[in-house]
Chains A and B, each alone.
Chain A
């Protein structure tokens, strides 16, 4: 796997979520994604960036354009040093939320991506990584 291009974006305010969306869309266009695939990865990025901000208290996202054996992909890794997720299984359940949202963001992001991984330690933070192939 080769990383063609990577950048780290800080997520500290609501405006940063918009910037993450714009940057992810730019990478998806570079990778030659169709309009539907662009929208999917951008929406997933929006959900996870908002989670990082609202529940993680802010953090970073690593946006990477990667190639694996000729297939183009965009990989996003969100990290925060927030309180962490107590029950990941439950957090992924549709309709479950500890905030005031719809409770669809995390599970929705998983469905919108081709690869999804999540790791969380209570009191230390959360790391979510998603990849979408062309």
Chain B
């Protein structure tokens, strides 16, 4: 151990561990750590206990306030685990960092009791404060990073699940668009659609915009570009699912979609079937025709 303050803190952590732990747990519970029901009492107690013993081990082997050193690595990884699980469980950043910061008061009290020399106490308290600040900030870092990972994952999931190209019949594709058509999504949609047109040799693609809440000029422009690209690939597009309020708004905006459009997907599908010389008949009517020949 390199300096005096480390010795004091190490001694305090060793000699008064039980008192500090009890104080800390009471403080956390008084602060409402268990009230939200997201963490069990036993779990919190274990976390406090492990943290204290890890802290003691780290302080015992390290010289300075450099927390990036090896001696603190197990403490950091333990704190990282705690922050990550709290981020996932829906704790606020304050609650997460509060776990570490609330240790200050019990530790300072213990240091106060441990010595009569004011200078030693002050130095030790300053050192402890720096140490806990850094560890507390580390929990915030991990917490924020975990949240960012969750958001990034959700963004990927949303963009994947929202742009399927569905085959309705040989040569007929449907593209149900849900949500906002920004440039990035239009790009994904266009790529998916054009690839599907090639793969399936489709003649007609139905773009269903029932799930698009707002159609403004940018959305319209994106749609027009997608349709133009599909046309170059030899496929015609039909738009379906333009709701009444959106139709009115588009007229006011002055947007013209020079493309066949139908009120709903079923109508668009019927039109597409007719284009590929197919039709839908009831089984009864079909068997009558097969039995008697076509009606005169």
Contact = CB atoms under 8 A, between A and B. Distances in A.
Contacts, number: 63
A46 B253 CA distance: 12
Interface string A41-76: 011001100100000000000000000000000000
B220 interface: yes
Q: Chain B contact residues (Cβ within 8 angstroms of A): what range?
A: 20 to 34
A104 B220 CA distance: 11
A102 B255 contact: yes
Contact of B218 (A35, A42, A50, A107): A50
A50 B183 CA distance: 12
A104 B254 contact: yes
Nearest to B221: A102
B188 interface: no
Interface string A77-113: 0000000000000000010000001101101100110
Contact of B244 (A18, A36, A101): A36
Interface in B210-255: 213-218, 220-221, 244-246, 248-249, 252-255
Contacts of A14: 182-183
A28 to B, nearest CB: 12
Given A35-B245, A39-B248, A107 B254 contact: yes
A58 to B, nearest CB: 16
Interface of A: 14, 18, 21, 35-36, 38-40, 42-43, 46-47, 50, 94, 101-102, 104-105, 107-108, 111-112
